[in-house]
Amino acid sequence: MNLDKAKIYVQGGRGGDGSISFRREKYIPRGGPNGGDGGSGGSVVLKATEGMTTLIDLRYKPHQTADNGQHGMGKLRNGGSAEDRVVRVPIGTVARVHDSDEIISDLDKVGQSFVVARGGIGGRGNAHFRSSTFQTPRVAEKGEPGEERTLDLEVKLIADVGLVGFPNAGKSTLLSRTSAANPKIADYPFTTLTPNLGVVRIANDKNFLLADIPGLIDGAHAGSGLGHDFLRHIERTKILVHVIDVSAGDGRDPIEDFEQINKELSLYNKRLARTPQLVALNKTDLPAAQDHLQKVLGYFGKRKVYEISALTGQGVNLLMTSTYRLLNHINKEIQKKSSQQKPMVINESRPKEKIKVTHGKNHFSVEGKEVRRAALMTDFGNEQAIVMFHRKLKRMGAINALMKAGVQEGDTVQIDEFEFTFNQNSNG
């Protein structure tokens, strides 16, 4: 079972209906409308939570629905709004629209949250619709339905440094040597089936987060083995420590292993190929390593490499110290670039929504977010509500768009799941 992936269905709560009510007091026989508004439905919110590492809870509870808002009441009393449904997820959770590449949120900081299904607004009570010519409005809006969608969630580790290399290169041993992490270690491939995290402490105030990424194989970029499950965990890292088994265990060639891993990284994500790498020649304590060490050193030439033994600790402190220095330099460069960036100016004005009219075989179809919302919030069992709906369509330009498309009196018009007979005037 893959615990860092989950498919969930989210639905915001429906807004409460507006109230139809009139002031009724002993000496006020013709009191005006006093129906209150409905409350807003709750939204579904993803929140990055410290201490969580998997999505297992959501695999058993894939349906996350927020509560509906309360209906409005008389005496101008508004219905209460529902609380949001907060769904806790691990830091590093990415949410995509199901079966697509559209990312809607990437929660990479503690406490970061994102609304993935917005609750519907409450309907307005009849007090809103009184006018000089409309003294007794017996009409109110229905609450708006909440958004609903299916999402694919996946967790990408938030680590400063990632360990990469072929299975059995010694990554887990290196992680356990340098941190308090306790990964499973054995002398066979794919001992590590899930990424492990550890904090490497160089000094009291100098540390970084190190991730042991499970061993890669040929074709990992295309998903061979557990390629995609492994590779996505190093997309966020700032440095890669490339661990090579210089003893040529299992009959492998250290140089070919190095080139193959870098090829897989490049094919999966070009950015990974540009991520700074420190090369660690591991298992130098084994006699077999001496048979290959000079050839490997010759291959790297003047490039700085680190001869280590994760098992005995030889050379590990120098490797970790060098990693921290490089990481510190990279972080300073990131901060410098961030301080030089001009603040983004957001244009708050919204362009007028375009209404799309299509002529089907037996009907005209009207599409548009606001048009759909108006239909969903209309009580079509109420004659006054229908008149108000027609007026809304006029203000939005939908009536004009229909006439330009060739609609005639008596034609069928469809908006979402609702069908109407077109009447240009409709008492409106």
Q: Is residue 427 part of a domain?
A: no
Domain match, 133 and 262 both: no
Domain match, 31 and 168 both: no
Q: Is residue 416 part of a domain?
A: yes
- Note the residue count of the chain: 428
pLDDT tens sequence for the chain (428 residues): 455 789 999 999 999 999 999 988 776 666 789 999 999 999 999 999 987 878 888 988 999 999 999 999 999 999 999 999 999 998 889 999 998 888 999 998 889 999 999 999 999 999 999 988 888 899 999 999 999 999 999 887 778 899 998 888 898 899 999 987 554 433 433 334 456 778 898 987 788 989 887 655 444 334 444 444 556 667 778 999 999 999 998 788 999 999 998 988 888 778 888 899 999 999 999 999 999 999 999 999 999 999 999 999 999 999 999 999 999 999 888 888 767 766 555 454 455 678 999 998 889 999 999 999 999 999 999 989 998 899 899 999 999 999 999 999 989 999 988 998 988 776 54
Domain that holds residue 412: 356-421
What span, in angstroms and rounded, lies between the C-alpha atoms of 98 and 8? 9
Domain match, 190 and 295 both: yes
Q: Tell me, what CATH number does 396's domain have?
A: 3.30.300.350
Domain match, 275 and 398 both: no
Domain end call among 102, 123, 155: 155
Domain match, 379 and 238 both: no
What's this model's pTM, rounded to 2 decimal places? 0.70
Answer yes or no: are the C-beta atoms of 195 and 216 closer than 8 Å. no
Number of domains composing the chain: 3
Domain match, 149 and 168 both: no
Under DSSP, is residue 227 helix (H, G, I), strand (E, B) or coil? Answer: helix
